[in-house]
Amino acid sequence: MSLLVQKYGGTSVGSIERIKQVAAKCAAAKRAGHDLVVVVSAMSGETNRLLALAHEISEVPDDREKDVLLASGEQVSVALLTLALKEAGQRARSFLGHQVRIATDNAYGKARILSIDSTKILLALKAGEVVVIAGFQGVDEDDNITTLGRGGSDTSAVALAAFLNAQACEIYTDVEGVYTTDPGICPDARKLARISYDEMIELASTGAKVLEIRSVEFAKKFSVPVHVRSTFAEVEGTWLVNEEESMSDVLVSGVACDRNEAKITLLRVPDRPGLAAQVFGPIADAHIVVDMIIQNASEDGTTDLTFTVPKADHKKALAIVERTARAVNAKGVKIDTDMAKISAVGVGMRTHAGVAAKMFEVLAREGINIEMISTSEIKISVVIEAKYTELAVRVLHEAFIGKQGTV
Ligand code: ADP
Ligand code: ASP
Ligand code: MG
């Protein structure tokens, strides 16, 4: 019998009515002959609500306790969906991360899945039950509850599909698939029938939150067929596939934006060997991921060092950097949380020149100043003032992808 993993996001389980609809969809897939493992997120808004509660108590909440708190959102939705399945006459059983044993490392708030024990899942499936598993959470080797980072239920689902060797992983969400840009921002965005794993990794890492980046990395590594599709419309969505030759004909296949980064500048630090290691070592030790880094040309033996970190980590990062600034005798530290990163992604960039130049030109025409630039083989990202986000996305989409044609 074929095994399917389905994942339903927050909006898809955002009310009791919607949970009942999801239960009906799951029961139909089961009747169609599939063994079914269903991963669910917390009801929409719940993770943010819990996070806000923690912040009412402390400015930088303890990492371990924050994970205990946030994981409770998914506990509610697995129970409600399982109840709805049973009510619809379908045998079902819920599991939390630690009950299955989704083993992770101990990096609270951004834990990585190390292994998944399939024993209980396979027993339940054999008994004819739909297995409903809490997304976003796991357990470390000392039995502490961990969470995987925002959007982490995608990763739970793809990892389960990989470990269980599922036929496919269906990601059900509130849009019909992966689009050329966020359809919520740009009305001209078009749904892609297929996207390569590599392009999706770049889009996810640059802010297209339709899939969490680690879920795509997992999918690529284990060749999991992933189908992103709508919970609310019975239509084909977008398949993640290995790169196909025709894909490199398209210069830019997607435009993404990210308002979740903060920019930190260390002013006038001594320009000497070992300085960067001294600055970034403690940040890495605190499991904070640094994205872009710029070091300006050196004048009088000192230089400015600018970099970006996730907004969620900016207070922690700032405290660390202020300590380093004192130790290395820097002039000071500046922080800016009002910025956005806009990226153009496409495998066609490997073989075509001129994308960066065109991007700069289009932004210049709108009077948008570029503060930072970074590139990879198939991506160009710029940092701009946050107030220009929507405008930049629309003009870049218009310039590179346009309104017409198929993708
Ligand atoms: P879920 O709660 O189902 O996990 P998310 O809110 O995490 O859903 O992700 C879906 C949202 O991602 C969409 O509503 C859309 O606004 C946003 N999004 C951003 N970029 C894209 C893109 N390129 N294609 C589709 N959706 C995108
Ligand atoms: N509930 C978590 C979040 O809001 C995980 C997820 O939805 O994937 O980030
Ligand atoms: Mg999501």
> Residue 310, SS3?
strand
- 350 pLDDT band, cuts 50/70/90, is confident
Ligand 1 lined by 237 (C-beta under 6 Å)? no
Instruction: Determine the average pLDDT of the residues in 369-384.
Output: 93
Query: Distance, CA 258 to ligand 3 centroid (Å)?
Result: 14
Query: Distance, CA 320 to ligand 3 centroid (Å)?
Result: 30
Ligand 2 lined by 254 (C-beta under 6 Å)? no
Instruction: Take residue 5 and report the two structure tokens written for it.
Output: 């993993």
Backbone φ and ψ for 155, nearest 5 degrees, come out as -65, -40
Q: At what angle do helices 153-163 and 213-221 cross, to 10 degrees?
A: 10
- Going 195 to 159 to 172 to 45, the CA torsion angle's sign is negative
Chain segment 51-82, per-residue pLDDT in tens = 999 999 998 899 999 999 999 999 999 999 99
Instruction: Determine the average pLDDT of the residues in 110-136.
Output: 97
Q: Are 235 and 326 in contact (CB under 8 A)?
A: no
Q: At what angle do helices 63-87 and 16-31 cross, to 10 degrees?
A: 60
DSSP state of 243: -
| Residue where the block lists tokens 């296949």 | 253
Q: Are 178 and 191 in contact (CB under 8 A)?
A: yes
Chain segment 315-333, per-residue pLDDT in tens = 999 999 999 999 999 999 9
Ligand 1 lined by 10 (C-beta under 6 Å)? yes
Ligand 1 lined by 179 (C-beta under 6 Å)? yes
Which of 38, 169, 186, 209 most suits a substitution to test ligand 1, by most atoms within 8 Å of the C-beta? 209
Tell me the C-alpha distance between 174 and 56, whole Å. 30
- Per-residue pLDDT at 1: 65
Which of 7, 13, 41 most suits a substitution to test ligand 2, by most atoms within 8 Å of the C-beta? 41
Tell me the C-alpha distance between 279 and 120, whole Å. 46
Nearest Cα residue to 178 out of 136, 225, 241, 228:
228
